[in-house]
Amino acid sequence: MAAIKITFDGSSVSSKQDADLNYFLCGNEPAGIIKGLANELAYSVGNNKITFQSGYVQIYGRRIFIEENTAVTITLDSTKYGYVIVDVNLSTNNVSVTTVEGSGSYPTLIQQNLHTYGTRYQMAIAKYKKTVSAITLESINRVLIPTALEVANSGFANAKSYMANHYSMEVKSYPDESSGNVYRYNMGAYQNSYTLIIINLNDNQMFALPGRFMTGHSIFGFNYRYLGSDYMLSGEWLPGSVLLLNPGSTSHRVKAIYIYKFGI
């Protein structure tokens, strides 16, 4: 057992160690084309060949460069379904660009986990169907491995979107119903366990009502002073997610309620 120097002068790094770090630094993406380098393996078909532009492939941290105009010939001998693949074989230390085909459907590719000491991985870089007279390129989902900055920017954008969608404030400026001095608000659109309700009374009194404490048939009250006199704002939480508010004087008005949503 010993400490192995990796980023030091004169150090000797195994391909496995280098691949493990590449795999980790690219977000543990098993296989893909490195985005933004060379021509990202764009391809076309013609003259019974599928031809690729240049690009970099990474499979469990093992990096391979495919040169410009790399081509594979498709033999038009029957109707078959096939892939053009990058075939990595660690047992023989070989990498090739070749084809695999199936007669009735697309073949199953060998995709072992090279990070945990698998030895074979076939990564599809094009998909086609052939007959005795033609080759048809089929749609294929090719993973593009982004840069670390792009991943960070994407994570930041996702976080902003999550905050905007899950932590927000809505205003009910008017009750759904009112009768005399009783204000009725339908709160069925909200998960009260994840809300905080702020009650605006007379535009100068604010009361915080934690939604998570509103269950069943809850009754509550807030004492307040207005123009030197004491009053109580009373409320009820009724089955069916209905909030009733009743100010302590017929001259007092609930101007609005503010619903703050947290994590939903």
Q: What is the rounded CA–CA span in Å between residue 34 and residue 41?
A: 9
Q: What is the rounded CA–CA span in Å between residue 181 and residue 253?
A: 8
Cα angle vertex 85, ends 79, 91, to 5°?
A: 125
For 158, residues 6+ apart whose C-beta sits below 8 A from its C-beta are none
Residue labelled with tokens 């205003």: 171
- Mean pLDDT in each 10-residue stretch from start to end of the chain (264 residues)? 84 91 92 96 97 98 97 97 98 98 97 96 98 97 92 90 87 94 93 91 94 84 94 92 94 95 81
**Predicted local confidence at residue 44, as pLDDT:** 97
For 134, residues 6+ apart whose C-beta sits below 8 A from its C-beta are 76
Q: If you count them, how many residues does the chain have?
A: 264
Tokens of 121: 């991985």
Q: How many CB atoms lie within 10 A of CB 34?
A: 20
**Predicted local confidence at residue 113, as pLDDT:** 98
**Predicted local confidence at residue 37, as pLDDT:** 94
**Predicted local confidence at residue 163, as pLDDT:** 87
**Predicted local confidence at residue 147, as pLDDT:** 86
**Predicted local confidence at residue 240, as pLDDT:** 87
**Predicted local confidence at residue 1, as pLDDT:** 61
pTM of the shown model: 0.68
* Phi and psi based region of residue 152 (left: phi greater than 0; alpha: psi -120 to 50; beta: remaining): alpha
Q: What is the rounded CA–CA span in Å between residue 14 and residue 214?
A: 61
Nearest CA to 190 out of 237, 222, 155, 151 is that of: 237
